[in-house]
Amino acid sequence: MQLDRFFEALWFDFVRIAPQAAAIKARLEELGERVENDHVAFRTFDRSPVDLATLEPRLLELGYQPLEDYAFPDKHLRARAYTRQGAPRIFLSELLRAELSTGAQTLLQRCVDAIPHGAGGSAQIFHQGRLWPALPFADYERLASESEYAGWLCALGLRPNHFTVSLNAMQKLRTVEAILEFVERAGYKVNAAGGRVKGSATIGLEQGSTLADRVAVDFADGTHTVPTCYYEFALRHRIAGGELYPGFVTDSASRIFESTDRAAR
Ligand code: NI
């Protein structure tokens, strides 16, 4: 699959449930900014037909190379970043299901058991959404109360969790705080967990994000409004050797994950 068509399909799916991102991108373009993506992030289940190991070959086929692994023990996740020259980075995380309670594991296993074998055989998997029957809303709430990530994944499935605007490509809004203020003036909320700006120039990466849109999603017993997807902003700094910091920072990413928390405000 051609890379630009892959990203077009991802963006098309993403803005359907995160209309804020399309609106913010349009505002930035009105300002004369060039909107380039730093990275796109996905969430999935471990030990499943769509786990990280099964999806990785799809990224390699698109010309990506693994960059680095990350661990989020308190969120029961692990992740791997991928890079490709001239393309947005990809951040792929998976839920370590065995670390959750027996009750949560039972609910998650029902989702995993419904995933068609071979589902991970095409790059289109990255915008297929839910590959299992809709859950009752009470099950979603039970899962989310134990792991916001698990609740989100069961409700929304395989799709971009967020796109990230590269501030390195910007002319006017050149800091994370500047773009967060711009976004707020446009009427969108900002994720303040762990501070509005995560990371630092010294670390090499500064990030911020909106709070996820809230959109009506189908559950087994009707539609309910839940947090969906958000827009992130990243500024990379030069590190020793003069190159831009290439990877991710777990402390920052951990708080960025919270952009989809039900209680986030
Ligand atoms: Ni991100």
Q: What is the pLDDT of residues 118-159, one digit of tens each?
A: 999 999 999 999 999 999 999 999 999 999 999 999 999 999
- The CA 252 to ligand 1 mean position distance, Å, reads 9
Backbone angles phi, psi at 89, to 5 degrees: -65, 160
> In this prediction, what percent of the chain has a pLDDT beyond 70?
99
Q: How far apart are CA 72 and CA 134, in angstroms?
A: 27
96: pLDDT strictly greater than 70 = yes
Q: What is the pLDDT of residues 198-226, one digit of tens each?
A: 999 999 999 999 999 999 999 999 999 99
Q: What is the pLDDT of residues 38-71, one digit of tens each?
A: 999 999 999 999 999 999 999 999 999 999 999 9
Q: What is the pLDDT of residues 228-265, one digit of tens each?
A: 999 999 999 999 889 999 999 999 999 999 999 998 76
- The CA 229 to ligand 1 mean position distance, Å, reads 11
Q: List CB-based neighbours of ion ligand 1 within 5 Å.
A: 41, 164, 232
- The CA 222 to ligand 1 mean position distance, Å, reads 31
